[in-house]
Amino acid sequence: MKERTNTSRAGTLSARFFVACFLLVLSACGAREPSLSYVDGAVVAEGWSGQMPKEGWPGVLVVRAGEDASTPAMLGDYESSGGKLIFKPRFPLQPGVQLHASFTPRPGAEPLTASFGEPAKALVATTRVTHIYPTTDEWPANTLKMYVEFSAPMARGEAYTHVRILDDKGKVVEGPFVEIDPELWDHEGKRVTLLFDPGRIKRGLVDNETSGPPLMPGRTITIEIDPSWRDATGAPLVEKLSRTIRATDALRRPVDVKRWSVAPPNAPSDPLVVTFDRPLDHALASRAISVVKNGSPVAGEISLEKNESELRFTPSESWKPGAYTIRVDGVIEDLAGNRPGKLFDVDTSDATQSTSATPVSELTFTVR
Amino acid sequence: MKTSIKLLTATAIVGAIAAIGLTATAAPGDTAKLQSAGALAFAPNGVLLIGDSAGAQVFAVETGDTAKGGSGKVEIADLTGKIAAMLGTTADQVAVNDVAVNPISGSVYLSVSRGLGADAKPVVLKADRAGAISEVKIDTLKRTSVSLSDAPAPDAKDPRGQMMRTDAITDLGFVNGQVLVAGLSNEEFSSSMRSIPYPFTAATKGASIEMYHGAHGRFETASPVRTFMTYTIDGKPNVLAAYTCTPIIRIPVEQFKPGAKIKATTITELGNRNRPLDMIGYKKGGKDYILMANSARGLMKVDAANIDKYAAIESRIADKAGMPYETFAEYANNVTQLDKIDDASAVILVADAEKKSSLKTIALP
């Protein structure tokens, strides 16, 4: 059995797959000598003719991503035409993985073998954490969630092993997050949501009463992001990140838009400025607040400032004189999951507490 | 009244919490593409349910795998390494997201991601009772799907903000002609389960049910469901579920009505710092048990006798309460997936110290 390896040294992959051509010539005569080549990501066996054998095309050509014959054959499709048998892998071969093809040109013949592949790509650390929300350095002890945002898409399935919380003595806080499978990423894979274990935040549960909340009022915690967390290319982060937070008393007041202050724009292109009475959840405040005029939404851009305690709305077109309404959807939450008119954990023994959030709250302002 | 309990074939019930108010649409025979393969479960007649969190949809695929497939013990060492080789990649680029056994054939279905990031490719594989792995080519099989999300509202001011919101499907199940979907949002702490009649039809809008948890009979919170299984009492189907905040709850399926707000009955507290990952029900020696894969305790055998008799836990407890259980030293903390093969055996996915996953068949304890 002969085997040769041809490894492409091409430095970069273009949009089309690399071409690593390889030819084995067993005999000096004829144009249909049995051969194996690798063209555009497919293994091409030439010198075969006949029908598919009973055991299927793998009886003629089998391709494995491993030298061991016990390695399962690669998934892929076969095409047979004009003396060629072509195997197209189900997925493009990952750089660094070697294909091992074995071609039996006729029954009983010694298999022709060849290996193909491309060197592994060097991994370059370029991705970093861009934000951890909340951005304020004071978090209520019953903070419900945090968002970690990255400069590029990340690998999934590694969040809970790469974020840790240290207490004010430097001791690792055990089990601060509820580990959800699948992890809670946005569509791009650039922001992950970490929920502090609701069993430790909700009053009346065993975890809350015996372990307490992960954040103890009056004390600091340090969030550490391990740089070995891989991005979607497999590269680690550029650097470790540490951030120290001071925990404040638990926040148990419903969101109340009447406590917000509204600064109407003074000029046609000025932003509307809404100041909240506390920082709000970054993601929800970004999409749950809208500006409406005469029942129609006003196009514009929202930005959150001052540690998510201020919203600025800049209209796409100049303000027009008249009355406007600020609509707040009931899904909006503060850092502790409290919503308009409803606490995160409602004390049902208190008749004044509502068990449902106010669906829509409104504020009005006038542009003169 | 005599109560008989029959534990149904429990499957990994994937749940996706769809935000309240979302609608479900379906197009029978559609050509919707699977964008991710997560939670798996089986409906009757070899229909595989696939939770697609990235695509915010649930697929029902007619596998045609409806013949008994032998009685061999499925044992596949270094499963992720073998799958990686089949997919032309390395084991660190492969994730096995869920395992479900086709109750008809006994074949083990695996939902897999090839790749690390949001662009990872979904693959569904099948291991037969001899341990041979093959691909389930979803695109070539008859299938229907239901979308769990609405397109952004026409007046959405912040399309990017809308795009950042996702619903993760955490478990799926099939009971009483309904596909149950549990999950949760990556933004608001919502709590709905969805109940979708099967077969899917274009006119069907799944019902969204809000799940709540009462603690001490006093504090009420929204409570996403992490995993669940179904069982029947007196011929009536029930759901046994684990909240993200640990307690085990019971819900009669008849309560799953459109727009319902369910404060489920807590029947078991499992104590501190553990997560139920999967649950199956089985009968042994005429008695009912639940086998649970748990993040901190490995496999737990829970005595389910008189499961319908447990009083709701509404008062302060010190540690654990409810159904008694035992654990097994050999499966202390490394079981990540579990499903029932038959009344005598189950398949588990276990990870070794080097994070290599293997598929094993175990006798039900």
Task: Report the CATH number at residue A102.
Answer: 2.60.40
Q: What's residue B20's pLDDT?
A: 28
Q: Of the segments A28-42, A337-351, B300-314, which one has the largest average pLDDT value? A: A337-351
- Residue A21 counted as domain residue: yes
Q: What's residue B216's pLDDT?
A: 62
Shared domain for A229 and A135, answered yes or no, is yes
User: Across all residues in chain B, what is the average pLDDT?
Assistant: 82
User: Do the strands B219-222 and B25-26 form a parallel or antiparallel pair, or are they unpaired?
Assistant: unpaired
Q: What is the mean pLDDT of residues B107-115?
A: 98
Decide if pLDDT at B97 tops 70: yes
Q: What is the mean pLDDT of residues A107-125?
A: 93
The upper half-sphere exposure of residue A92, i.e. CA atoms within 13 Å in the direction of its Cβ, equals 14
Least trusted range by pLDDT, from A287-291, B227-231, B273-277, B297-301: B273-277
Are A65 and B117 inside 8 Å of each other by CB? no
Decide if pLDDT at A99 tops 80: yes
Decide if pLDDT at A28 tops 50: no
Decide if pLDDT at A2 tops 60: no
Decide if pLDDT at A209 tops 70: no
Peptide bond just before A236 cis, omega within 30 deg = no
Shared domain for A286 and A337, answered yes or no, is yes
Of B86, B95, B218, the CB nearest to A204: B218
- Residue A123 counted as domain residue: no
Residue A123 CB contacts under 8 Å (≥ 6 apart), including other chains: A233, A234, A235, A236
Neighbouring C-beta atoms of residue A277, cutoff 10 Å: 15
**What is this structure's pTM?**
0.89
Shared domain for A239 and A289, answered yes or no, is no
- Residue A88 counted as domain residue: yes
Shared domain for A360 and A303, answered yes or no, is yes
Shared domain for A275 and A288, answered yes or no, is yes
**CB < 8 Å to A296, chain B:** 155
Of B184, B271, B275, the CB nearest to A206: B271
Decide if pLDDT at A16 tops 80: no
Residue span of the structural domain in which A244 resides: 129-248
Q: What's residue B7's pLDDT?
A: 42
Q: Which residue of B has its CA nearest to A173?
A: B273
Q: What's residue A293's pLDDT?
A: 97
Give me the interface pTM, i.e. the ipTM: 0.88
Are B95 and A156 inside 8 Å of each other by CB? yes
- Residue A121 counted as domain residue: no
d(CA B42, CA B60): 9
Give B320's pLDDT tier (boundaries 50, 70, 90): low
- Residue A295 counted as domain residue: yes
- Residue A122 counted as domain residue: no
- Residue A178 counted as domain residue: yes
Q: What is the mean pLDDT of residues B82-103?
A: 96
Q: Of the segments A237-251, B5-19, B29-43, which one has the largest average pLDDT value? A: A237-251
Neighbouring C-beta atoms of residue A42, cutoff 10 Å: 16
CATH number at residue A303: 2.60.40.1220
Shared domain for A2 and A48, answered yes or no, is no
- Residue A25 counted as domain residue: yes
CA angle A271, A335, A309 (to 5 degrees): 25
Decide if pLDDT at A132 tops 70: yes
**CB < 8 Å to A65, chain B:** 84-86, 88-89
Domain boundary among A217, A248, A279: A248
Question: Number of folded domains in chain A?
Answer: 4
Shared domain for A134 and A244, answered yes or no, is yes
Helix (H) / strand (E) containing B164: helix B159-164
pLDDT digits (tens, 9 = 90+) for A324-348: 999 999 999 999 999 999 999 888 8
Residue A340 CB contacts under 8 Å (≥ 6 apart), including other chains: A254, A255, A256, A257, A328, A330, A332, A357, A358, A361
